[in-house]
Amino acid sequence: MAGAARTVLKATAAAALLMAGTAPPAVPQGAPTLNLYGTTGLIDMPSAQHQADGTFNFGVSHFAGITRTTLGFQITRRLSGSFRHAAVADWNFGGYKTYYDRSFDLRFRLVDEGRYLPAVTVGLQDLAGTGLYAGEYVVATKNVTPRLRVTAGLGWGRLGTHGAIGSPFGDRPPTDFGQGGVPNWDQWFRGPVAPFGGIEWQVTDRIGVKVEYSSDGYVEEAGARGIFRRESPFNFGIEYQANPLTRIGAYYLYGAEVGIAAHFALDPRTRPVTAGILGPGPAPVVLRPPRTADPDAWSEEWITQADAPQLLRDNLATRLGRDGITVEALAVQSRRAVLRIRNTRYDAEAQAIGRAARALANVLPASVEILEIQPVVNGIPAAAVVLRRSDVEALEHAPDGAARIRDVTAVADAGPLPAGAVTGAGLYPKLNWSLAPFARAVLFNAGGIRFGGGARFAANLDLAPGLMLSTSITKRVFDNYGAPTPSDSVLPPVRSDISLYSAKGDPAIETLTFAWYGRPGRDLYSRLTVGYLERMFAGVSGELLWKPVDSRLALGVEVNYVKQRDFDQLFGLREYEVATGHVSAYYDFGNGFHGQVDVGRYLAGDWGATFTLDREFANGWRVGAFATLTDVSFEDFGEGSFDKGVRISIPVNWMTGTPSRGAFPVTLRPVLRDGGARLEVDGRLYESIRDYHAQSLGAQWERFWR
């Protein structure tokens, strides 16, 4: 072992000298690759490189009966995070044949790669899990040539178990697992430290090879458990870039094992195809004649015609109907028009407003100069977007038209409609329904992946503006749920009985609700929902939100009184009932980052707060993380210690290229328990209306002209 340590120290020193004396191109070619842990790295060791800002990774690797499934996200240009689920076969300890482990990683790039200096990253591996994969590292990576990279680093914890060179920061305390899920900060960068390193060579645009020296001794797996033999610290791999999104690899590991991996990288800032390319293009703006050339066209006498508002409204409804935009109401004056629309197609609200502005410019008499467009959400106006018709005419083909139309457009609170507004026939009551496949999966709980799917019938009846009746009914066709497992929680089983609901709810009424949305005052929005609110609870939910259209800050309050539903999810109710509620603060930090804090009472009767941070991209992707801390002790909460997880929302049109407001939301938790559980009710106000407010519109204004 001492000889191996001296060998790798010499290699590390040589690599450091090589890094310091080589000047590669300013921008290295090729994206950083991932390792068997699903993080940026060599084979089993990390590197200092990071993915492009906003990149989302999914990876699966397997060797020696060890399977790791990892979701990773480049949170900012320097900070990245990962959530991992590992399954270790033949563990044979503590009653586990196969041991399942969940863990989180964080990495921060301290130094960017320069002409002479390498990139330097510090990382925390399994910072809040069981400690099975816990380790810390400082690592440097340098591009020697556009195709050759060299990495050298120092590892602690798991990454310091082979070839250690000392314990510079003191002994490492033993792992105090408890219920898991709590950061093990007292261990960070303590205990033995060992060097690691390696080389990556991109032979061609598609084929790359890797060689590394690993400082992971696999003490449990190769020692106490005897899962595999670790005969060498050297690993070798070959990888194939199948396409820009997919990279697969095969590896010879630790002198005894063969491994494989597949990694998928998605950039939420780009699309496989451009959304809207398959949809109808916008109608060109028809310019008004100059006033001096045709003064009669600018006459305001038209306003005296009794049927003028209705004729204009019908013409607008026909034009905008082709764009999937419903005209709710139109009020016209000689020089001003107020149009209320319902956007059913475009995920970019600015695009719907742009289509409406074009239609107004093409339909209204020449004397109308001020255009006010009020988007309607759940029957209530969310904002008033005010612009001049002359700006629409002048900027349609301007090189910087998107930026200039943004600068001359005002976003204000939507007041009541002016007198004389006309609505169309047949808007209410209006029934919309769908019958489509559905799938539901639990990806990271102990016991492996559990999933089911079938058909879902959904219907929404708009009774009047702001009044709607909704339902969702499922019929399962396939599943691997197995026998349900009753809850072992010491808290009321408000979530931990989910296996009973999954197994016995077939067919199931997911929701059956009556909702009333309103505008009780300026900058105020309200919601009242009654019925079967979600799979596990029925009752009443009320909400009030204060959100000025030009403010980054919003404040809300929600109060609920609910009763637990029967496991079959039909009409029966169980005995457990509870009053819950939260006071919430929302803040738009800019650059796509949104924060939320909810303080109040949860479904199990516990009191506490939930902290959420999301990053949202202009094309509709959302990725975020949340954590809830309540007065429930870690011991009473059970495995995981407290509720936490990540959530992802992928817009449908990112994949299809056709205009759509649909999305695939996914919430991933290490484990689903009862502490910190919040009611899941559809149509909460902040997410419903904020897309039409100034901050959100500003991030997508380039889509105004599409």
pLDDT at 12: 33
Which is more confidently placed, 594 or 271? 594
Taking residues 56-64, report their average pLDDT: 94
pLDDT at 516: 98
Check whether 348 has a pLDDT greater than 90.
no
| Listed residue (76, 74, 33, 219) closest to 589, CA to CA | 76
Confidence of residue 1 (pLDDT cuts 50, 70, 90): very low
Q: What is the mean pLDDT of the chain?
A: 89
d(CA 211, CA 218) in angstroms, rounded, equals 18
Could you give the angle at the alpha carbon of 82 between the alpha carbons of 77 and 87, nearest 5°?
160
d(CA 677, CA 604) in angstroms, rounded, equals 7
Report pLDDT digits (tens) over 193-203.
Answer: 999 999 999 99
Report the SS3 class of residue 3. helix
Report the SS3 class of residue 499. helix
pLDDT at 272: 56
Domains of the chain in start order, with CATH, are: 2-266 (2.40.160.40), 295-426+695-705 (no CATH)
**543-576: string of b/e by CB count within 10 Å (b at 16+)?**
bbbbbebebeebebebebebebbbbbbeeeeeeb
Check residue 549 and report its DSSP letter: T
Percent of the chain with pLDDT over 70: 92
pLDDT at 91: 79
d(CA 454, CA 510) in angstroms, rounded, equals 13
Check whether 28 has a pLDDT greater than 80.
no
Taking residues 645-655, report their average pLDDT: 83
pTM score, whole prediction: 0.86
Question: For the chain, what is the total number of helices (H) and then of strands (E)?
Answer: 10, 31
Least confident of 16-20, 160-164, 289-293, 541-545: 16-20
Our CA dihedral for 502, 506, 510, 512, rounded to 10 degrees, sits at -150
Could you give the angle at the alpha carbon of 103 between the alpha carbons of 100 and 109, nearest 5°?
150
Cα distances (Å, whole numbers) of residue 274 to 269, 348, 511, 706: 11, 13, 34, 11
Confidence of residue 13 (pLDDT cuts 50, 70, 90): very low
Taking residues 587-608, report their average pLDDT: 95
Least confident of 81-85, 296-300, 315-319, 443-447: 443-447
Confidence of residue 439 (pLDDT cuts 50, 70, 90): confident
Report the SS3 class of residue 13. helix
Report pLDDT digits (tens) over 280-338.
Answer: 788 899 999 999 999 999 999 999 999 999 999 999 999 999 999 999 999 999 999 99
Cβ pair 378, 684 in contact under 8 A: no
pLDDT at 447: 55
| Listed residue (216, 217, 196) closest to 138, CA to CA | 196
d(CA 302, CA 284) in angstroms, rounded, equals 24
Best mean pLDDT range from 115-129, 218-232, 541-555: 541-555
Cβ pair 685, 545 in contact under 8 A: yes
Cis peptide before 429 (omega within 30 of 0): yes
Cβ pair 403, 492 in contact under 8 A: no
Check whether 551 has a pLDDT greater than 60.
yes
Report pLDDT digits (tens) over 157-190.
Answer: 999 999 999 999 999 988 765 566 678 888 999 9
